[in-house]
Amino acid sequence: MTYELADYTAAHQQLFAHYNDLTGRLSDVEMATQSLCPAWDTRGVITHTMGVEVVLTGWAPSAETPPPFEKLGEFNSQVEGLSRSDFAIRVQEITASRLAELDRLDPAMVDAPSFTPAGIAIYRRFLQVRVFDLWVHARDIALPLGETLDDTGAAAEMTLQEIDDSVGYIVGKKIALPEGKTIVFRIRGGVDRDIAVSVDGRATRVDSVDNPDIEVTTDVATFVMLAAGRIDPQKQIDDGKITWSGDDAWGRTAALNLAYTG
């Protein structure tokens, strides 16, 4: 699935609104709540996500000059001692500045060669990874706080697309589905999508599979957070949030081994 600059901008706007809301309403105790990222509490996650946006603001997509990630340390020092209210103001400034830059960008720039977290690709991929990162980190915060987030819309679609683009690797290397087998992930909830993979020499994403050997069913948030290595797969199985049919052994193996990042 291909998205245009306006789609990425809309997804950023949706996600930035959530981060602005968090910094405006969470208490100091909530800001200090441990996130799903072992190294960071809630405020630490927000600091990290906003620090990356500071790095990207003013950087032109390039395959020769990487983003100036050395700015992260300086940014962390700048916001470390800020009060909660001043921190909220700083987050609002960062998100507004980044959105303004995306609004000014030439739409054709999404196809420009660029550094990305996945290597040299095009800027479109970088924007998709940023949406994925912001979306996952929002749930790194929400799940420990017991908050429910909206799993619909452009940001959820793009986040799922990032997993979809890597599903051959997940099935071939992490699940290690054997030659000749087929699997379909039925995503139902938040975003509805079927993701089919066939192992024919290598695990490859295909448009569809008739009578797959394994069908795994889950919702978009569970699927993404399992793929991101953030939540315990056995607990999701026990809670009925991920189920399977067909080959029972390989269905269980798939449900337990979706993590490819984290």
**What is the CATH number for 214?**
3.30.1050.10
Residue by residue, DSSP assigns 123-191 as HHHHHHHHHHHHHHHHHHHHHHHT------SHHHHHHHHHHHHTHHHIIIIII-PPTT-EEEEEE-SSS
- The yes-or-no verdict on residue 138 having pLDDT over 90 is yes
pLDDT at 120: 95
Structural domain span for residue 189: 166-256
- Is the separation of the CB atoms in 225 and 231 below 8 Å? yes
Tell me, yes or no, whether 19 and 134 share the same domain: yes
Residues β-bridged to residue 214: 183, 246
CATH of the domain at 124: 1.20.120.450
Mean pLDDT of 120-144: 97
Tell me, yes or no, whether 137 and 190 share the same domain: no
**What pTM was estimated for this model as a whole?**
0.96
- Is the separation of the CB atoms in 159 and 136 below 8 Å? yes
Tell me, yes or no, whether 186 and 140 share the same domain: no
Among residues 129, 154, 179, the one where a domain terminates is: 154
- The yes-or-no verdict on residue 118 having pLDDT over 90 is no
Tell me, yes or no, whether 178 and 136 share the same domain: no
- The yes-or-no verdict on residue 39 having pLDDT over 90 is yes
pLDDT in tens, 68-102: 999 999 999 999 999 999 999 999 999 999 999 99
In a domain? residue 25: yes
pLDDT in tens, 170-209: 999 999 999 999 999 999 999 999 999 999 999 999 999 9
pLDDT at 262: 65
Tell me, yes or no, whether 202 and 97 share the same domain: no
Tell me, yes or no, whether 150 and 77 share the same domain: yes
Total number of domains in the chain: 2
Tell me, yes or no, whether 84 and 108 share the same domain: yes
Among residues 109, 134, 154, the one where a domain terminates is: 154
- The yes-or-no verdict on residue 1 having pLDDT over 90 is no
The amino acid that residue 113 corresponds to is P
